[in-house]
Amino acid sequence: MFFHMQDLQFDAKPEGPDAAFANRLQEVLGGKWGEMTVAMQYLYQGWNARLPGKYKDLLLATGTEELGHVEMLCTMIARLLEGAPMSVQETAQKNNPMLAAVYGASNPQHQIVNGAGAYPQDSQGVPWSGAFVTSSGNLLADFQLNATAEMQGRLQVARLYEMTDDPGIKKLLRFLLARDHLHQQQWVAAAQEIKDDGLDGMPVPEAFPLEEEETGFAYQVMNFSDGTSVGEGQWAGGPAPDGSGRDLELVERPEAHGGRQTLPPGDPRLYGTPPGTTPGSATEAPTNAR
Amino acid sequence: MFFHMQDLQFDAKPEGPDAAFANRLQEVLGGKWGEMTVAMQYLYQGWNARLPGKYKDLLLATGTEELGHVEMLCTMIARLLEGAPMSVQETAQKNNPMLAAVYGASNPQHQIVNGAGAYPQDSQGVPWSGAFVTSSGNLLADFQLNATAEMQGRLQVARLYEMTDDPGIKKLLRFLLARDHLHQQQWVAAAQEIKDDGLDGMPVPEAFPLEEEETGFAYQVMNFSDGTSVGEGQWAGGPAPDGSGRDLELVERPEAHGGRQTLPPGDPRLYGTPPGTTPGSATEAPTNAR
Amino acid sequence: MFFHMQDLQFDAKPEGPDAAFANRLQEVLGGKWGEMTVAMQYLYQGWNARLPGKYKDLLLATGTEELGHVEMLCTMIARLLEGAPMSVQETAQKNNPMLAAVYGASNPQHQIVNGAGAYPQDSQGVPWSGAFVTSSGNLLADFQLNATAEMQGRLQVARLYEMTDDPGIKKLLRFLLARDHLHQQQWVAAAQEIKDDGLDGMPVPEAFPLEEEETGFAYQVMNFSDGTSVGEGQWAGGPAPDGSGRDLELVERPEAHGGRQTLPPGDPRLYGTPPGTTPGSATEAPTNAR
Amino acid sequence: MFFHMQDLQFDAKPEGPDAAFANRLQEVLGGKWGEMTVAMQYLYQGWNARLPGKYKDLLLATGTEELGHVEMLCTMIARLLEGAPMSVQETAQKNNPMLAAVYGASNPQHQIVNGAGAYPQDSQGVPWSGAFVTSSGNLLADFQLNATAEMQGRLQVARLYEMTDDPGIKKLLRFLLARDHLHQQQWVAAAQEIKDDGLDGMPVPEAFPLEEEETGFAYQVMNFSDGTSVGEGQWAGGPAPDGSGRDLELVERPEAHGGRQTLPPGDPRLYGTPPGTTPGSATEAPTNAR
Amino acid sequence: MFFHMQDLQFDAKPEGPDAAFANRLQEVLGGKWGEMTVAMQYLYQGWNARLPGKYKDLLLATGTEELGHVEMLCTMIARLLEGAPMSVQETAQKNNPMLAAVYGASNPQHQIVNGAGAYPQDSQGVPWSGAFVTSSGNLLADFQLNATAEMQGRLQVARLYEMTDDPGIKKLLRFLLARDHLHQQQWVAAAQEIKDDGLDGMPVPEAFPLEEEETGFAYQVMNFSDGTSVGEGQWAGGPAPDGSGRDLELVERPEAHGGRQTLPPGDPRLYGTPPGTTPGSATEAPTNAR
Amino acid sequence: MFFHMQDLQFDAKPEGPDAAFANRLQEVLGGKWGEMTVAMQYLYQGWNARLPGKYKDLLLATGTEELGHVEMLCTMIARLLEGAPMSVQETAQKNNPMLAAVYGASNPQHQIVNGAGAYPQDSQGVPWSGAFVTSSGNLLADFQLNATAEMQGRLQVARLYEMTDDPGIKKLLRFLLARDHLHQQQWVAAAQEIKDDGLDGMPVPEAFPLEEEETGFAYQVMNFSDGTSVGEGQWAGGPAPDGSGRDLELVERPEAHGGRQTLPPGDPRLYGTPPGTTPGSATEAPTNAR
């Protein structure tokens, strides 16, 4: 169950309108790696966690914080849209050389659809998708992903920071950069805690019995590109990170371990191109129907 | 530039048809974490890499291998669809109790649309999306993501392994489990190499100047959920993983650092609900238009 | 800013597993008219509301409640997935006639992707979309929409109620039916309050000057279908609901008020089929380029 | 069955090209609340209506009219694209300050993909989706939704009207404003007729037995946001709009009626993080498998 | 402008309910190659056609017919859903072995969302998309595409015909098969007419000056797969179908005509991995900024 | 199995940066008819081909070439993004009139998300979709579609060629125009070879027995639009292209062959609007439940 407080977690006001930047901010609000994604991803992982206690609560607590970041970004976007030009004609009249660039780079849906407000879509207007959420039920896999989500997020905010001179916007982004910094660390620490608690390890999922793998293929880095530079990294000869004591090795020219790709003939009621009617077309025998 | 060899990298044939399992395999072919995603993600990361040499080539080599995995899964799916029942009536006639379950769990598009073939969609028929690909231009962020992609992939294949008794399918999955095992290790090693080469570090991107952050917020884990279990992990008191020598700390009850969320009044030509017309509705002053 | 409480707003446990019903519940969780939609729609409307006070707060308060409903549904779905059959073979072994139906009607992603958990997608696996959210900036239009969202939602929950005998599921649905009942009333009352406060009216947006319309067409119901039954309702002769004092009227056989649809010839650099080369192909004159 | 007449229902020609406005018009053609949506929504509701007569025919007649509006908007968009600049270079040569704004705000697919024509996508290029159509089988719910669709539509057209000076475009928009005005009234009247005919009422669906609800929760408006302004509207104390004779009431601080959210331990074959292995992790008992 | 007639173009009633087949029919209603697609594609092509007369009218006439096919399929789907089982329990009680298969293969949204009605989505529940519509402005390219759309459509209907014994359904499909047969011929004839009228030819668009191509590559079929069978068809040695009098030729082992793929170093403000910091990483020189 | 060569199939460097054109190139990379589509479509058709030999190999060889075109376009896009302006302010400072147009027309995700790199999305930022791939199992239908894909592709590249003066970009496009020219011819030749080999013919699929059609409707072109121009083409009187020896004929005013569209009453547990309660509402009798 959730409660809302009308104060913002952090706030900063822009010096003036900038509809172009308002649109760019949509990326970190409703894009694949934006605040909507981390909020929903952490909450779903928390709700689905079957292990109660510190991990589940950390997910729910952090997802709840991220909802407050969604709120902050919506607020900034709405402020940046205040006083945005309504038409080409208005843009031309003000005779400000930057306005043509701003008008062209603004998001028409911000005005037509949302009445100068934010929405859960990215900087190209593609709606936020539930497919952006991953909640696998395996906390180590998910914590590692959460750490990378914060990396992608901080990277995008850092780029936005270079795209404006407005001190109010920059102040807000400085806060988000710090929280992405913290959350990167938090998920790295949580992944380590999972290992320290003996709950999982590498390769994820550690519980799958390794003897069930075709283990001969588990330590061979294969070079499917030409040249030799693939052999120059620690992945091509260093100790295997899975703690098995084995070394990774390089396969310079991978071989095919299967034969030619062929298929059985197919059911004629599907009206596919019938096999067997041209010379040399030896398909597989049909598998026995059950 | 690419070349194709008609032999498969690895191959195994199913003992018999299973249209239900054919559909389940679509998840690791065309789902968010399937082979289409890793193939395209590694190739785009490689093509966009501005740093030539070992990292770029490793990406291109691995993406090229994954295309061969797409090929192997398509082949297996087409074989499992050979002889699948065409109708409810046919299902009933065979009087095999398993067939009703298989028919219900099969994918109607496999027959109607693809003529007993695979396609780039997931196990619920949702098309594979270019949005699944991340290629940020920052190799450390992307290598970490690639490692987690292999974790999610191996997790899904391990689950599929438990969902069938067919030795041919299991043999193919054993190969994929081993390659996901290898690729997890490979990307972990590559991320370490980036750090060892001094190209990036934590927090990603390390090059962003930390003094530009609101650094007071960069080490505080905040508990936005009730209870105390959030304070029980190393994230709430251990050393910061960013190498700063600082410790993470817990904020038990986070405070709001911003005031009440309000917005300026809005342009009347957008026909929003007009502010200022009910008692006490004190909005922000409008920002000055440029 | 938001806070999370670990207790659920309401709770009920199912008597046993039912993976088929777990999938059906996804519709009211992540479908177009599900809890994700109303939670996000009310929050975005609240964040974007430029008029502070009772309306903005009602939106934020209600959106926050709906997040707790998302949580309740995720919990129920995860419980229903506990012990779900993992394979066709396992389904067959248990020799329970219902299991084949359940297996066929279950969602393969619930196990393969989510590890027996819920996700923000609908009952056919289509991801929840940010496009489901409408936040127009006009509160009357949005409150009316919110009322209909609760109607569609209550309708779907009522149908689900008829689809199960499990008393635990039914208890949870009874709660949701009551809240949808309340929220229907709440948004109807809020729309009335907007009118009573003189903020907007019909036709929405009332502030657009009616004399700018082609008003001749604003009261004519047109019958573009054959037969006469369109003329039998109050829409074809009753008083206009916009309070203008005029009557609606029926146009039995609508006329075309424009001429034949033609277009100017097009830029040859676009390589369209060139106009003017067959007899009688008289296109429009080109409009003057600016 | 449908017939097409080559004359347009209404027509107006623009004074000159305007590729930026052509793109903005895509919103009311192929956006969520555009003409494609209302055309298809009314037709599907009509086709699916199991009650023959006036309601079914009104839906089919109106949907058929809306198809003609799709045609009118396509025509206007194609005319506005006539003579649009083909390149940055061409834009620069004409030395017209407005052209840079127009070029930046134009839709590249209008030329590259459609050869200066319209398509069923919105003003940000997102394709029109069948998910925009709601046809629930319950006419009261759907008529109320149709009324709100016309509200959102008229709101968007009113905003577009403020974004241009071109008298031809304005003339077309005046017609659409009038028809949206009419259709708002029409669906409000039709919803009233449903009630007058005794077919349904509030809460929708009225036929669901109220005693099956957890009725204690059906009249309580709950304040999940802080502050007291939620209590200031008629929703927090007025008579219930469902005609029950009861009053709505405000719950100032909602309580949790369920306990802590916990889940059963999960099937180990799904390789989730195993519960029960850290101190204090008391999960639910597993539900009995069927 | 359009008119609707309440009679169906063709009609047939099913012998009994079949919710599984109802779902399969969604594919040819709302799938990529279904009736929604051809209806909308032909209408948009017609509306956008800048050449008036026979071609434009043929498109509009045929698109209008296809709307009637959408209507017919909706009707059939709604009839097949009449009396469909509402729950697993009900399915089990009827003790009919086919019902478990039908229940599992049915579409839960047909009941929960649509109240036993059709909707514009495919047989896996993926919404119909405006992206399915192609209207390029080049009639030859589009007529060829229309012919293939009818081929894919007829193929799918033929497969559906094999999937049922119900004489009513089969009667309806026989009509659709005949119309797809006609429309295949119609578009082939229309493409021929375009050529006969001298409006376009091969390669499409013929108006693009061939001397602007790198024509050396315009007649070489390249074998990027191993083996020699690519050389066995008329494409590897026959006369070029473009009427140039040249022959196609086979390149057995294609060569790279470009050098190694490298990129310039990138703007440091984007925080990508910095180039030039490892040995041998010679990137391109930066291009001169304008 | 695939191999990658680090050299490009063809290469050309732009004279300078152009972020607007970089975005336009996304259309032929990740749009519906772009290189991603043809690469994946040919590969899936090849993998699913049940007939081994020349056709299957031609598909795989050509799909493999197209992957190299994806690589070439990514390279060009990344080069065009080098040195693109990062902000409105920077754009204004350079005082170059073209830059405002370029800034407005550029893709914000190119910088924020991809760090000056390409991605699998179209020129409006809509992600590439697996739904763009058709692989029906019927080679004649698919080869005809492949030919039209090359037509649409060449048309788009020809338009792009007119949109730039940069000789490096034009050189690359000249190569693509030539390959699209070749591939148009190749698929036309392959379709002819299928017919010559006796594998299929018109109407596709030829194997479906024509006597199962409602053949009376297979030769009638119907005019559902007003006017007479539909009767002016060879489709309205010429010989049927299916080789049947029959003629196509025109139906000037099509008749309805079915009666009024009605539906059975529906299950009351779905809470639809109940039929039969208003005068004259004669629905169909319910079909018998199985």
Q: Which residue of E has its CA nearest to F111?
A: E270
Interface contact F276, partner D, CB < 8 A: yes
Output the six-digit token pair for F253: 């005013």
Question: What are C234-283's pLDDT values in tens digits?
Answer: 999 999 999 999 999 999 999 999 999 999 999 999 999 987 555 555 67
Q: Could you give the CA distance from residue A37 to residue A55 in angstroms, rounded to a whole number?
A: 19
Q: What letters, b where the CB count within 10 A reaches 16 and e where it falls short, cover F44-59?
A: bbbbbbbbbbbbbbbb
Give the model's pLDDT for residue B22: 98
Q: Is D112 left (phi over 0), alpha (psi -120 to 50) or beta?
A: alpha
Backbone angles phi, psi at B105, to 5 degrees: -90, 0
Q: Which of residues 2-31 of D touch E (CB under 8 A)?
A: 2-9, 30
Rounded to whole angstroms, the Cα distance separating D3 from E114 reads 27
Q: Judge contact between A110 and A84, C-beta under 8 A.
A: yes
Task: Tell me the three state secondary structure of residue B2.
Answer: strand
Per-residue pLDDT, averaged over F85-90, amounts to 90
Average pLDDT over residues F246-270: 95
Which element (helix H / strand E) includes A251?
Answer: strand A249-251
Subunit contact E138:F151, Cβ cutoff 8 A = yes
pLDDT by 10s per residue, chain A, length 290: 999 999 999 999 999 999 999 999 999 999 999 999 999 999 999 999 999 999 999 999 999 999 999 999 999 999 999 999 999 888 877 767 688 999 999 999 999 999 999 999 999 999 999 999 999 999 999 999 999 999 999 999 999 999 999 999 999 999 999 999 999 999 999 999 999 999 999 999 999 999 999 999 999 999 999 999 999 999 999 999 999 999 999 999 999 999 999 999 999 999 999 875 555 566 787 765 44
Q: Share the mean pLDDT of chain D.
A: 94
Query: To the nearest whole number, what is the mean pLDDT of chain A?
Result: 94
pLDDT value of residue C288: 52
Residues of B in contact with C91 (CB under 8 A): 98, 101
Q: Do C91 and B98 touch (CB under 8 A)?
A: yes
| Chains in touch with D (≥3 Cβ pairs < 8 A) | A, B, C, E, F
Question: Contact B273/C200, CB-based, under 8 Å?
Answer: yes
Q: Where are the beta strands (DSSP E) in chain E?
A: 2-4, 220-222, 249-251
| SS3 sequence of C66-94 | HHHHHHHHHHHHHHHHCCCCCCHHHHHHH
Q: What is the per-residue pLDDT across C150-162, written as a single tens digit (0 to 9) for each?
A: 999 999 999 999 9
User: Got the DSSP string for F189-248?
Assistant: HHHHHHHHTTS--SSSSTTS-GGGS-GGGSSEEE--BSSSGGGGSGGGTSB-TTSSS-B-
By the CB < 8 Å criterion, does A271 face chain E?
yes
Return the half-sphere exposure (C-beta side, CA atoms, 13 A cut-off) of residue D146: 33
Q: What is the pLDDT along chain E (290 residues), one digit of tens a residue?
A: 999 999 999 999 999 999 999 999 999 999 999 999 999 999 999 999 999 999 999 999 999 999 999 999 999 999 999 999 999 888 877 777 688 999 999 999 999 999 999 999 999 999 999 999 999 999 999 999 999 999 999 999 999 999 999 999 999 999 999 999 999 999 999 999 999 999 999 999 999 999 999 999 999 999 999 999 999 999 999 999 999 999 999 999 999 999 999 999 999 999 999 875 555 566 787 765 44
Cα–Cα dist E65/F225, whole Å: 9
Amino acid letter for position D136: S
Which CA distances in Å does D30 have to D71, D81, D118?
12, 17, 9
Chain C CB within 8 Å of residue E143 CB: no
Interface probe with E: pick from A173, A271, A273, A281, most Cβ of E within 10 Å: A271
Residue written as tokens 């409150």? C143
Find residue F225's DSSP bridge partners: D4
Q: pTM score, two decimals? A: 0.96
pLDDT mean across residues, chain C = 94
pLDDT, one tens digit per residue, over B50-77 is: 999 999 999 999 999 999 999 999 999 9
Instruction: Check A155 against E269: CB less than 8 A apart.
Output: no
| Tokens standing for residue B42 | 């590694």
**Taking a C-beta distance cutoff of 8 angstroms, is the pair C69, C28 a contact?**
no
Structure tokens of C142? 């949005």
Evaluate whether D203 touches C184 at the Cβ level (below 8 Å). yes
Residue indicated by tokens 């009557």: C247
Are D103 and F105 in contact (CB < 8 Å)? yes
- State whether F102 and D109 contact (CB < 8 Å): no
Of F40, F50, F116, the CB nearest to B137: F116
Question: Can you list the positions of beta strands (E) in D94-223?
Answer: 220-222
Q: Minimal Cα–Cα distance from B279 to chain D, Å?
A: 11
User: Which member of E36, E48, E67 has the closest CB to residue D117?
Assistant: E48
Q: Which residues of chain B lie closer than 8 angstroms to D271, CB-CB?
A: 155, 158-159
Which pLDDT does position F277 carry in this prediction? 55
Among the residue ranges C101-110, D84-93, E37-46, the one predicted with the least confidence is D84-93
Of the listed ranges C118-122, D98-102, F241-245, the least confidently predicted one is: D98-102
Indicate the residue type of E79.
R
Which DSSP string do the residues of E71-104 spell out, in sequence order? HHHHHHHHHHHTT---SHHHHHHHT-HHHHHHHH
Q: Which residues of D touch A140 (CB under 8 A)?
A: 273
pLDDT of residue A274: 80
Q: Which of D123, C158, E119, E191 is nearest to A125 (CA)?
A: D123
3-state secondary structure of E176: helix
Are the C-beta atoms of residues C149 and C37 closer than 8 Å to each other? Answer: yes
Query: Strand E220-222 and strand F249-251: pairing?
Result: unpaired
Q: For chain B, which chains pass the contact test of at least 3 CB pairs under 8 Å?
A: A, C, D, E, F
Q: What are the angstrom distances between the C-alpha of E99 and each of C2, E20, E115, E170?
A: 48, 10, 20, 21
| 3-state class (DSSP) for residue C3 | strand
Contact C95, C2 (CB under 8 A): no
CA dist., res. A104 & res. A20, Å (int): 8
Distance, in Å, from the CA atom of D273 to the CA atom of D66, rounded to the nearest integer, reads 54
Residues with pLDDT less than 70, chain B: 97, 276-282, 287-290
Reply yes or no on whether the pLDDT at C215 is more than 50. Answer: yes
CATH fold group of domain C19-196 = Ferritin (1.20.1260)
Residue F114: its pLDDT value, please? 98
Q: How far apart are CA A229 and CA A237, in angstroms?
A: 13
- Among the partner-chain residues A158, A269, A271, the one whose CB lies closest to the CB of E271 is A158
Q: Which residues of D touch A54 (CB under 8 A)?
A: 278
pLDDT at F278 over 80: no
Q: What is the pLDDT of residue A89?
A: 86
Residue E74 CB neighbours (<10 A): 27
Exposure b/e, D228-262, CB count within 10 A at least 16 = b: ebbbbbebbeeebbbebeeebebeeebeeebeebb
Query: What are the residue boundaries of the structural domains of chain C, listed by start?
Result: 19-196, 210-251
- Which of these ranges, D217-226, E234-243, F94-103, has the smallest mean pLDDT? F94-103
Rounded-to-5 percentages of helix, strand, coil across chain F: 50, 5, 45
